[in-house]
Structure 1
Amino acid sequence: MVIVFLLLALAVFGGLHWYVWRRTVRDTTARPGRARRLGTAAIVGGPVLMFAAVTAERAGAPFLLQQVLAWPGFLWMALSLYLLLGLLAGEFVRPLLRRFLERRDARSAEAEPAGVGASPEVVAAGTGHPARPRPETAAPTPPETAGDASAPTDATPAPGAARGPSRRLFVSRVVGGAAAAAAVGTVGYGTYDVLRGPAVKRVTVPLARLPRAAHGYRIAVVSDIHLGPVLGRGFAERVVDTINSTQPDLIAVVGDLVDGSVKDLGPAAAPLARLRARHGAYFVTGNHEYFSGAEQWVEHVRELGLRPLENARTELAHFDLAGVNDVAGEEEGQGPDFVKALGDRDRERACVLLAHQPVQIHEAVEHGVDLQLSGHTHGGQLWPGNLVAELANPTLAGLERYGDTQLYVSRGAGAWGPPTRVGAPSDITVVELASKRA
């Protein structure tokens, strides 16, 4: 069944790329030539680089090779998506544009002067005298011009009749060019939006059990930084500077910090040592840590000054802060353990839980958590990916209530795969706790 599914997925993937090639390359070139060969090379090379980039990252290939493959391969992932969407939208435009051009050509043909090509008798109509043909007009056609292809014949198409093929080519070029321009513009702006760094978002969350003394307590929540072959040390510095500028009481890094090994990305993560908060910075694993050597990263972030919460809890002055491992750790025997983290706590105290995936909210409700802070979804990252992400997660982004427990989901600071976001801007959220007793 797995093989059948893979073959089916490959067939669909290939079919979609064939459609993109047909509409952007074959239909926009009048005949085989250099332009068609270059276009074909781009459509074939794009997915090859995309698969190579993903494979190199997952297989732990030399980091330089990962960096070389990542930019073109992952950007093609985003570009092909919006190129496909643009071409599909263009299918509705094509018949309208053809109809417009046909009507325009018909009006042009009707507007030609009535005397053009008319017989002498018609030209002389109304004068009372038949027109006498000129000698040169009546002269027989010289034998040497009888086979001239440029000479008008009865087979010469009427005005507009010969425009069919060129009209189709024109329509294909307009629609294909518009789709390509829209895709490049969308991906270009979405990439710029990620590379310039996340914006600060602020949300107030009232907690019934929070004491008055903790009213206004600020937690800077950051998730899904995804340091890797594309987003490196410079991006980490922008994230750290943004967090520190909010002057939080506590910093929560809720998973998916990296996409790679400590050996390759240790220097990129080094700026995290500059994180500053009154009550420190805390870290829980995300699913991507388990693709990248979770144990090594937990130890490394501890060396950088962050405190990992591996199914653990710490009692702060006015509330409990707990953290659980990501569900991806179950395959390594390091999955989430809510009993270990929360089982023996005093339920009279407010509790804030750090858990990477929103799907962990149901166990949080069972254990009487007041607020769960999560990431993982990226808010969908690339529209219309949000439609798929909404099906897989109880909350896509923002604040929602589940019984007596509230869940806040950050869209994340970085991006996985293409360093691009469309319709899901990145964020670092300052969650301000409010006491209902204040």
Structure 2
Amino acid sequence: MIVFLLVLVVVLGLLGTVHWYVWRRLVRDLTRPRSAARRVGTVVLVALPLTSVGALASGRGGAPFVMEQILAWPGFLWLALLLYVTLALVVTEPLRPLLRRALARKAAGTAEGAEAAQAPVPVTVPAGPAEAPTPVSAPVLAPADAESVTDATSPAPVTPAPATPAPDLSRRLFVNRVVSTSALAVAAGTVGYGTYGVLRGPRVKRVTVPLAKLPRAAHGYRVAVVSDIHLGPILGRAHTQRIVDTINATQPDLVAVVGDLVDGSVANLGPAAEPLARLTARDGAYFVTGNHEYFSGADAWVDHVRELGLHPLRNDRVEIGAGFDLAGVDDVAGESHGQGPDFAKALGDRDRARTAVLLAHQPIVIDDAVRHGVDLQLSGHTHGGQLWPGNLIAELANPTVAGLERYGDTQLYVTRGAGAWGPPVRVGAPSDITVVELASRQA
């Protein structure tokens, strides 16, 4: 509990510092004190993080699903925009003093040129004969006239000129506006394109995996692997339908749904998952749980996907007619619910002369797969990092973030997933549905 509180304090402190920095660069440095623009900007930069907290907490807190949907778009999009606007502002920090110095040098050069142009030109007058000055008699003035002369020759009162901003302050404001608005535009463009990529739907990726024990009859067998669909308050029924249409267009022999199908209850998201009933494959569609199923009622979702025609593999195995075993294990998050992966149950009594393909949501169980003689493990979970540079963090927690790698005699393929968790945004990790084609070395 103490560790959790310490982590919470650190995270909140970091978020507070980041928001203060963004407020300083996008609000304080671009507006004048006590202006309406500064007040509005401050309110926005207080309201958006509160919306993000609401979006994160509403799903776990049992809030009405309508409220989750209202908070999700602005709350989650702000998290993505905050990431990239912060990165853009930090990267452009060195430009600010450089631009100010360049403008100051330019202003100084312009001022010197103007002074040179306005300097009086000396005029040479030809010398002539000297003339004696004509004496002038001073008039005798009356006292009243003397006072008039005194008034006329006294200096007139000077009206002060209106104050103008100091040149350095004007340059600073100009540079701040150019740099900060450019950083904001780049961040908004990045988030906008990443959102379009998610809403457009995943693209098909094809990978060939040679397996030493695969019989010739199974050569060319195609498994459509889809993971991390993440149906929720943002991605709904239309998202599921795009995925189903994309999978069916590949005409796979088997469909593997490798966890994290949902972020919510069957009551709220059951209709969004219904298009899965239209998946078509010769040997059917199979499902294993992911960690998010255990946040959403795993048992209820297993029952629901079974009603939709998918075959859940909960620490279980089936023999595929083409000549290999297909096994599936529960996600490690199930251990806190008295479930979790059981490799001995799924694989312990099998014939190791046969090829074994394992469905497991998280790549981290690869060591167990190796010990049980699995030939190919199909996983998801990582999203490929989803938001760059998130892939660097994902690499710390997962043996493989995306793609195909070998661990001893076992190969591991990790798909980037077909949806997105939290912000409906992907940057540097496009969503995919992978058609894994099994290749026999005997063919």
1:62 and 2:64 correspond: yes
Higher alpha-carbon deviation: 2-11 or 273-282: 2-11
- Separation (CA, whole Å) in 2 of partners of 1:308 and 1:165: 66
SS at match of 2:260: coil
CA contact (8 A) 1:216 1:432 kept: yes
Contact map agreement 1:30 1:169 (CA 8 A) in 2: no
Deviations 1:3-59 (A, max 9, x none): 233222211210110011001100111222111111111111111000100100112
Mapping of 1:272-421 within 5 angstroms? 272-317=276-321, 318-421=323-426
SS at match of 1:112: helix
AA partner of residue 121 (structure 2): V
Tell me which structure has the larger Cα radius of gyration. 2
When residues 300 and 127 of structure 1 are mapped into structure 2, their CA distance, relative to the original with a 3 A threshold, is farther
Q: How does 1:183-262 map to 2 (within 5 A)?
A: 183-262=187-266
Aligned counterpart for 2:161 among listed residues 150, 169, 182: 150
Q: Is the 8 A contact 2:384 2:391 kept in 1?
A: yes
The offset of 1:322, in angstroms, is: 0.1
**In 2, Cα distance between the equivalents of 1:425 and 1:250?**
23
Shift in Å at residue 115 of structure 1? 4.6
Using the TM superposition, give the Cα deviation of residue 169 of structure 1 relative to its aligned residue in structure 2, in angstroms. Answer: 0.5
TM-score (norm 1): 0.92
Please report how far the alpha carbon of residue 128 of structure 1 lies from its aligned counterpart in structure 2 after TM superposition.
6.0
CA distance in 1, matches of 2:191, 2:44: 17
Paired with 1:50 and 1:142, the residues of 2 have a C-alpha distance of 70
Which of the numbers 399, 413, 438 marks the counterpart of 1:433? 438
Calculate the aligned-residue CA RMSD, in Å.
1.7
Q: 1:319 to 1:32 in 2, by over 3 A?
A: same
Secondary structure at the residue paired with 2:93?
helix
- Structure 2 counterpart SS, 1:44: helix
| Aligned pairs (5 A) from 1:168-179 | 168-179=172-183
Q: Which amino acid aligns with 2:52?
A: M
User: 428-437 or 31-40, which moves further after superposition?
Assistant: 31-40
Q: In 2, distance between residues paired with 1:128 and 1:167?
A: 50
Scaled by the length of structure 2, what TM-score is found? 0.91
Task: Pick closer, same or farther for the CA change 1:107–1:213 going to 2, 3 Å.
Answer: same
* 5+ long unaligned stretches in structure 1: 130-139
Q: Secondary structure at the match of 1:431?
A: strand
- Counterpart secondary structure, 2:280: coil
Alignment partner, residue 53 of structure 2: 51
Conserved 8 A contact 1:322-1:354? yes
What residue in structure 2 maps to residue 30 of structure 1?
32
Determine the C-alpha separation between the residues in 2 that align with 1:141 and 1:271: 97
CA deviation after TM superposition for structure 1 residue 149, in Å: 1.1
Count, aligned residues: 417
How far apart, in 2, do the equivalents of 1:350 and 1:5 lie?
44
Q: Which deviates more from structure 2 when the two are superposed, residues 26-35 or residues 365-374?
A: 26-35
Q: What percent of counterpart residues are identical?
A: 68
Q: Distance in 2 between matches of 1:406 and 1:128?
A: 103
Q: 1:125: Cα distance to partner?
A: 4.5
**Which amino acid in the other structure matches residue 150 of structure 1?**
A
Deviations along 1:125-159, one digit per CA (max 9) or x if unpaired, are 55568xxxxxxxxxx88744x331139xxxx99xx
- Choose which of 79, 103, 107 in structure 1 pairs with 2:105: 103
Partner of 1:17: 19
Quick one: distance in 2 between partners of 1:294 and 1:279? 24
The match for 1:424 is 429
TM-aligned CA deviation for residue 190 of structure 1: 0.3
The separation in 2 between residues aligned to 1:392 and 1:53, in whole angstroms, is 25
Q: List, as ranges, runs of 4+ consecutive aligned residues in structure 1 with deviation greater than 6 Å.
A: none
Kindly tell me: are residues 355 and 126 of structure 1, through their superposed partners in 2, closer, same or farther at Cα, counting changes over 3 Å? farther
- 5+ long unaligned stretches in structure 2: 128-151
The secondary structure found in structure 2 opposite 1:335 is coil
What does the per-residue CA deviation read over 1:316-339, in whole Å, with 9 as the maximum and x for residues that have no partner?
Answer: 120000000000000001100000
SS of corresponding position for 1:123? coil
Structure 2 distance, partners of 1:48, 1:284, is 35
Cα-to-partner distance string for 1:343-391 (whole Å, 9 max, x where unaligned): 0000000000000000011100000000000000000000011110011
Mapped contact 1:60–1:260 kept (Cα < 8 A): no
Matches of 2:439 and 2:412, distance apart in 1: 15
The aligned residue for residue 92 of structure 1 is 94
